[in-house]
């Protein structure tokens, strides 16, 4: 499997540039006698079971985030170099290891004479930006009548959890752009520059830091980690060091929790309005993901993996789109969440090779239980 994973890692599959890796996956699955098909920007495979009133779905995204400065990497981010049982490269943990695991699960299940219920494998695009791929799949799944056809559906998102934790919920998020138009002027006379866009934005960042601290107290008893608002990029350009920029732009990552999703955004907008700062969304908002911890899919994991941890996560995934559609789902896969988006990202190879067997057991246990 290491050779196959290295091939997946070699694709610089940034969000919106996933077609080459999906073509590779399609060929690999076709060689295994499956019939994968493109559904908009996604690749989908369906295996038919005896009971076609129930379905199980595996989901994996193939896009990755930027590598940053290549010189900061000790290992080539696109080579999949192996050292001491770990494989290095962009996407090893988040989440090409999980993608390979569900590819191999599909092959293992295809080899069986019969399958108890329908099973879907979805390889989706743009999870790292706005979840457009999974959203497209859910809309298509509904339009084709599958939500009416299936009486019960469960899903697994193969995001990294080190194969020791089942995550049944996650926060939602808004990627926000805040822009302040100000006055341009000579920097030797700062009092005459009104408004000073950069200073106004800096005050706004301070406002949001105070707001975030209030949330820590306000929501400290929540089952989820409290909401957060984090600045991720700032820009205020001037070609002359003695002339102030007349515009300053900052990007924020707002994370929300059940009961405080749209309201969180509304609070940010209210603070922005006070400083006449314009805010907008960089991408459509990502919904909150949540499955009842007593749902069948969670119980099956506890049965198959004694002692497995169950919790909600503070990151966001595509589970929220399934939650909106009424589909139970959990996050469970090889790789380490702490490695996601990092320089020198890596994953434990033994987790990736053992994941398909676990996935197979989970599917069969869910399908064969009441």
Domain match, 342 and 362 both: yes
Domain match, 36 and 160 both: yes
Check which CATH number belongs to the domain holding 181 and give it. 3.30.70.360
Question: Residue 227 belongs to what domain range?
Answer: 172-281
Q: Return d(Cα 257, Cα 237) in angstroms, integer.
A: 35
Tokens of 320: 């929220």
Q: Can you give the three-state secondary structure of 326-341, one letter per residue?
A: CCEEEECCCCCHHHCC
Domain end point (choices 281, 303, 320): 281
Domain end point (choices 281, 298, 332): 281
Q: Return d(Cα 280, Cα 212) in angstroms, integer.
A: 19
The predicted model scores a pTM of 0.90
Q: Can you give the three-state secondary structure of 89-120, one letter per residue?
A: CCCHHHHHHHHHHHHHHHHHHHCCCCCCEEEE
Check which CATH number belongs to the domain holding 124 and give it. 3.40.630.10
Domain match, 179 and 328 both: no
Strand bridging mode 42-47 / 37-39: antiparallel
Residue 243: DSSP 8-state = B
Written as tens digits, the pLDDT of the chain (370 aa) is 899 999 999 999 999 999 999 999 999 999 999 999 999 999 999 999 999 999 999 999 999 999 999 999 999 999 999 999 999 999 999 999 999 999 999 999 999 999 999 999 999 999 998 899 999 999 999 999 999 999 999 999 999 999 999 999 999 999 999 999 988 877 887 777 788 999 999 999 999 999 999 999 999 999 899 999 999 999 998 888 888 889 999 999 999 999 999 999 999 999 999 999 999 999 999 999 999 999 999 999 999 999 999 999 988 899 999 999 999 999 999 999 999 999 999 999 999 999 999 999 999 999 998 7
CA 361 from chain center: how many Å?
Answer: 24
Domain match, 176 and 166 both: no
């Amino acid at each position: 499997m290491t050779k196959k994973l290295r091939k997946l890692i070699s694709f610089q599959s940034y969000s919106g540039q996933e077609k080459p890796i999906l073509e590779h996956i399609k060929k690999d699955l076709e060689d295994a006698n499956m019939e994968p098909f493109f559904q908009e920007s996604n690749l989908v495979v369906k295996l038919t079971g005896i009971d076609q009133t129930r379905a199980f779905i595996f989901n994996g995204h193939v896009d990755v985030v930027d590598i940053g400065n290549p010189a900061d990497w000790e290992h080539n981010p696109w080579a999949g170099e192996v050292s001491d049982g770990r494989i290095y490269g962009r996407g090893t943990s988040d989440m090409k290891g999980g993608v390979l695991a569900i590819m191999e699960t599909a092959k293992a299940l295809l080899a069986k004479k019969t399958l108890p219920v329908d099973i879907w494998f979805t390889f989706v695009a743009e999870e790292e930006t706005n979840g457009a791929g999974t959203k497209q799949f859910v809309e298509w799944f509904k339009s084709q009548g599958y939500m009416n056809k299936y009486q019960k559906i469960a899903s697994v998102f193969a995001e990294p959890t080190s194969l020791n934790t089942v995550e049944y919920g996650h926060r939602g998020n808004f990627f926000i752009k805040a822009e302040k138009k100000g006055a341009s002027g000579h920097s030797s006379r700062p009092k005459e520059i009104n408004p000073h866009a950069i200073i106004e934005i800096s005050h706004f960042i301070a406002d949001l830091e105070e707001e975030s601290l209030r949330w820590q107290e306000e929501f400290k008893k929540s089952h989820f980690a409290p909401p957060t608002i984090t600045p991720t990029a700032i820009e205020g350009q001037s070609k002359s060091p003695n002339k102030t920029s007349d515009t300053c732009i900052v990007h924020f990552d707002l994370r929300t929790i059940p009961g405080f999703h749209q309201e969180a955004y509304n609070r940010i907008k209210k603070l922005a309005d006070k400083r006449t700062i314009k805010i907008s969304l960089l991408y459509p908002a990502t919904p909150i993901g949540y499955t009842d911890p007593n749902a069948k899919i969670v119980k099956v994991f506890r049965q198959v993996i004694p002692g497995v941890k169950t919790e909600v996560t503070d990151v966001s995934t595509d589970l929220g789109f399934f939650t909106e559609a009424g589909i139970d789902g959990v996050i469970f896969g090889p790789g380490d969440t702490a490695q996601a988006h990092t320089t020198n990202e890596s994953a434990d190879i033994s987790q990736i090779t053992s994941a398909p067997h676990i996935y197979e057991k989970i599917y069969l246990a869910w399908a064969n239980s009441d």
